[in-house]
Amino acid sequence: GQQLNQSPQSMFIQEGEDVSMNCTSSSIFNTWLWYKQDPGEGPVLLIALYKAGELTSNGRLTAQFGITRKDSFLNISASIPSDVGIYFCAGRETSGSRLTFGEGTQLTVNP
Amino acid sequence: GAVVSQHPSRVICKSGTSVKIECRSLDFQATTMFWYRQFPKQSLMLMATSNEGSKATYEQGVEKDKFLINHASLTLSTLTVTSAHPEDSSFYICSASRHVGGGGEKLFFGSGTQLSVL
């Protein structure tokens, strides 16, 4: 079945540092979505990507849809304490098909 | 952005009782909603796909008689956990799919419901 590998599993960084996390899939996707989840809350959509090579920013966040259509990365620049949370990637193979979620990256930012 | 409202946010019930969780899309119509279950420090596990006006599609291993899903309108889906037991204690999250320009789709999530069965 579909496999989605997200790494790293966790990160501990200092405030102000840049962060990068990525996801790779075993098959081709036509959609990549990145979410952030705070404890006890539902995931919040950060960035949506629909085309291979697409690079999209949302404030200090930047995400790219890999050219091979099997990977995506999320960068956070100049991290701040409120960036703490779990970041999930999610991908979809075809329109209308179910989303597959990565296992998440737990980000901790030390002030 | 689109808003999905989920209630209640937290519920504690006795073993053997049933619990209903509501999921509403507030500013768009959602023909498809999804119900997930999440255990601590784990990813989201899809339980079922809720289709407006038709039966829900359940993932393998999810008991349809245990987790009743009703999607009676384009803005409301409900999940009822019947005869709840302690092992049903979990974080349940709903989501709604919204089509955006260019043929893309975005999935928006509710705030989740923490179910604790005593």
B78 lies within 8 A of chain A by CB: no
| Interatomic CA distance for residues B34 and B20, integer angstroms | 15
Residues in chain A closer than 8 A to B49 (CB atoms): 98
Q: What percent of chain B has pLDDT over 90?
A: 72
| Interatomic CA distance for residues A50 and A28, integer angstroms | 12
> Are the beta carbons of A51 and A67 closer than 8 angstroms?
no
pLDDT under 70: residue ranges of chain A:
1-2, 95-96
B74 lies within 8 A of chain A by CB: no
pLDDT reading at B10 higher than 80: yes
> Are the beta carbons of B44 and B27 closer than 8 angstroms?
no
> Are the beta carbons of B18 and B81 closer than 8 angstroms?
yes
In a mutational test of the B interface, the residue from A33, A92, A101 whose CB has the highest number of chain B CBs within 10 Å is: A101
Lowest model confidence (mean pLDDT) among A67-71, B24-28, B51-55: B51-55
Match 């393998």 to its residue by tokens. Answer: B60
Does A41 contact B49 at a Cβ distance shorter than 8 Å?
no
pLDDT band per the 50, 70, 90 thresholds, residue B96: very high
Does B107 contact A104 at a Cβ distance shorter than 8 Å?
no
Mean pLDDT, range B34-63, rounded to an integer: 92
Residues in chain B closer than 8 A to A101 (CB atoms): 43-44
Match 């349940």 to its residue by tokens. Answer: B92
